[in-house]
Amino acid sequence: MLKKSKATNDAESKAGSIGAGWRERFNAMSPEELAAFDAELEAEYPGGFSLRDEANALIACAVRNGPIENLHAGKYSPLLEDPSLSRITDAEMKQIMLNATETLARLLTLREEDPKSYSRMLRAYGKMYCHFWER
């Protein structure tokens, strides 16, 4: 059996924290409010919430809206046009990847522990951040 790394244990110890706020919101809703919320989300995804929609929402949550946003929000430089130059440091890449894997671990834990909240959360997140992405 493989021994878990400290990073894996840390990610698992934080598991569910990303979904906790969403679960609290859903638990605070009346059955009528939840039904209306679900209907609104269903209308957002003609043909249903596909695997591509799920992938888009996961990437938005784990990558696009993580530390990479700080790099993306910076000023333009003509140096960015030179493909021989690095655009990201090793430390920045490490931070991006650690954040992405920790976030995915929390989301996958939510999927296992509370599939309904996971589905609602991803559909809502996708609606907020991936509306204009390819489906």
In the chain, what's the furthest Cα-to-Cα distance?
A: 57
**7: Cβ contacts below 8 Å, ≥ 6 apart:** 98, 101, 102
Question: Residues 23-52: what's their mean pLDDT?
Answer: 92
State how far the Cα of 33 lies from the Cα of 23, in Å rounded to an integer: 14
* pLDDT at residue 12 in the model: 38
Amino acid present at 98: L
**41-89: pLDDT as tens digits:** 999 999 999 999 999 999 999 999 889 888 888 788 898 899 999 888 9
DSSP reduced 3-state for 115:
helix
* pLDDT at residue 18 in the model: 66
pTM above 0.85, yes or no: no
Q: Residue 66 is encoded by which pair of tokens? A: 């993580």
**81-124: pLDDT as tens digits:** 999 998 889 999 999 999 999 999 999 999 999 999 999 999 99
